Amino acid sequence: MPAYSRANDETEKFRIIQLELPKHLADWLESFSREIAMRPSQFIATILTYFYEAWKVGRESAFAATREPYKKKEQSLDEIVERFSREVKLGRNIFILRKFVSWIQQRGLGVGSIDEEAVNAFLNAYLEGRAVKKNTVDRYRGILRRFVEYLATKRDTD
């Protein structure tokens, strides 16, 4: 059983713990610690720190899971776009949706803020300085409106 005592430094950030190790491990620890320019206690503390940090992350994740065990993982906007594109079969027209989503993300907006007003603002910004035919603009608007409707139905069913 390890013996515990307080360190004699004024910070009291360290405790001395006496470990019993098999002789071959104790010999290796001393030898290897010298090779990497550490004291055996520093080397062990470094190793334990990695395990401690992993344990903390696991513990926090487990705690979060018990607080909200049935909360669905929210899909990223990119995942939603890919799913929409497959379902609607946008083909080469997906580029306008990706540009729209990029525009939304650059403004720090979330899925909840994607609406007709956002579509209009995007199209105004995107078309500025571009010579695009009216039927092409109408096609873009139609694709983006369908995406807005898609998001609304997904929000209602989730």
Secondary structure (DSSP) of 41-102 = HHHHHHHHHHHHHHHHHHHHHHHHHHHSTTPPPPPPHHHHHHHHHHHHT-GGGHHHHHHHHH
User: Would you state the structure tokens that stand for residue 65, as one six-digit string?
Assistant: 């899971």
Quote the domain boundaries for residue 113.
Answer: 77-157
Check residue 1 and give its pLDDT.
46
Give Cβ neighbours of residue 154 (< 8 Å, ≥ 6 apart). Answer: 80
Check residue 72 and give its pLDDT.
53
Which residue did the predictor score with more confidence, 76 or 28?
Answer: 28
Check residue 27 and give its pLDDT.
93
81 plus 137 within the same structural domain: yes
61 plus 82 within the same structural domain: no
Which of 14, 39, 67 marks a domain boundary? 67
Burial of residue 155, with CB atoms counted within 10 A of its CB: 0-12 exposed, 13-18 middle, 19 or more buried: exposed
User: How far is the C-alpha of 72 from the C-alpha of 83, rounded, in Å?
Assistant: 17
Which residue did the predictor score with more confidence, 76 or 75?
Answer: 76
Which residue did the predictor score with more confidence, 119 or 59?
Answer: 119
Which of 22, 48, 67 marks a domain boundary? 67
Tens of pLDDT, residues 128-137: 888 889 999 8
Average of per-residue pLDDT values in the chain:
79
85 plus 115 within the same structural domain: yes
Is 127 among the domain residues? yes
> Is pLDDT above 90 for 23?
yes
Closest CA relative to residue 21, chosen from 6, 31, 12 = 31
24 pLDDT tier (thresholds 50, 70, 90): very high
19 plus 51 within the same structural domain: yes
SS3 of residue 35 by DSSP? helix
116 plus 152 within the same structural domain: yes
Is 72 among the domain residues? no
Instruction: Give mean pLDDT, residues 110-134.
Output: 86
> Is pLDDT above 80 for 61?
no
109 plus 84 within the same structural domain: yes
88 plus 150 within the same structural domain: yes
User: How far is the C-alpha of 33 from the C-alpha of 38, rounded, in Å?
Assistant: 5
